[in-house]
Amino acid sequence: VAACIATLFTNSIEQFILMRFIQGISLCFIGAVGYAAVQEAFDQTLSIKLMALMANVALIAPLIGPLAGAAFIQFAPWKSMFAVFALVAFIAWLGLWKGMPETAQSQGEKLRLTSLLADYRQVFGNLRFVCGAASIGFSALPLLAWVAISPVILIDGEGLTPVAYGWLQVPIFVALIMGNLVLARIAGKMSIEKPLWLGAPPIIAGLALATFGTLFTPHAYLWTIVGLSLYAFGTGLINAGLYRLTLFASDMRKGTVAAALGMTTIGIYALGIEIAKRIYLWQGSGIFNLYGLISGLLWLALMWVFLKKKASS
């Protein structure tokens, strides 16, 4: 909240980036603690339903952001968006203060760097956890790479207006919402692994459709939209269940496991998006979508190893 309010008074790019850096640090605490608390406070079925609904915000925000931002700046200066962010964050803080359950089993312990490193070493030494965390990263990478590169593809490359660009994101985030809602509906009616396999066909088929639709016709961006919408529906089906299974793949404290999971996925996103950008600038949208398909196949292989290790353990 403080960083968002301070952003209103920045007058240089250096000050702006510093405030965004502070916001990023804050989000790391919220993500690591929040997701772990949901998993520990509720049983498997309810936590998956809640995670599916939470994903409608966490995963869709980057997609709906361009459309909302394009509309917002038609009526107000861009900096005023941070006043809205501060207000929403303050409301969220009030809700957490009044309603969040405490799930920490040990409180008041002193932070020791050696024990912290030992905890992380134990978590990352668990091959099953690493496979699960990496599979989560690669499952969402095509979506986040599209969010990052799509302004260049659609506005710079295809000459679309920001509003038209924003509307083209709608089918993708609607499909993602539908996938999460279907998951929330079927959670508890089948095993936790079943939706993971149900999500595999639309994920791979959607990424393949986007790839082959643009590989030989570089400017056929509508194939990308259709393919990524199908892929997004599958992603909505797998996200919550895969997260829970990965979080409980280690016996360590869930805050530590969630932090390690966050570091793994963010590392994949940061490196993967940078590679995606360079691939698009090098060879265009066809190879960019092929890169997304390879990411989807890596997710499938890692998830298979992850689930196989569970079955054999």
Domain limits, the chain: 42-78+118-308
The two structure tokens encoding residue 221: 């961006």
| Range in 33-42, 93-102, 162-171, 296-305 with the lowest mean pLDDT | 33-42
* Residue 133: partners with Cβ closer than 8 Å, 6 or more residues away: 246, 260, 261, 264, 265
DSSP state of 176: H
pLDDT computed for residue 192 by the predictor: 81
DSSP state of 9: T
The answer, yes or no, to whether residue 141 has pLDDT greater than 90, is yes
The answer, yes or no, to whether residue 69 has pLDDT greater than 50, is yes
> HSE (CB half, 13 Å, CA atoms) of 208?
7
Q: What is the mean pLDDT of residues 11-24?
A: 92
The CA distance from 56 to 257, in Å, is 23
* 3 confidence band (pLDDT: 50, 70, 90): very high
pLDDT computed for residue 312 by the predictor: 47
% of the chain exceeding 90 in pLDDT: 37
Q: What is the mean pLDDT of residues 204-225?
A: 88
Q: What is the mean pLDDT of the chain?
A: 85
Q: What is the mean pLDDT of residues 77-92?
A: 91
Single pTM value for the model: 0.81
Alpha helices by DSSP H, listed for 108-220, are 113-124, 127-150, 162-168, 170-186, 194-215
pLDDT computed for residue 313 by the predictor: 47
Which residue's structure tokens are 């962010």? 85
Q: How is domain 42-78+118-308 classified at the CATH fold level? A: Growth Hormone; Chain: A; (1.20.1250)
Tens of pLDDT, residue by residue over 100-125, are 777 666 555 666 777 778 888 888 98
The answer, yes or no, to whether residue 238 has pLDDT greater than 60, is yes
pLDDT computed for residue 59 by the predictor: 64
The two structure tokens encoding residue 160: 């679309």
* 133 confidence band (pLDDT: 50, 70, 90): very high
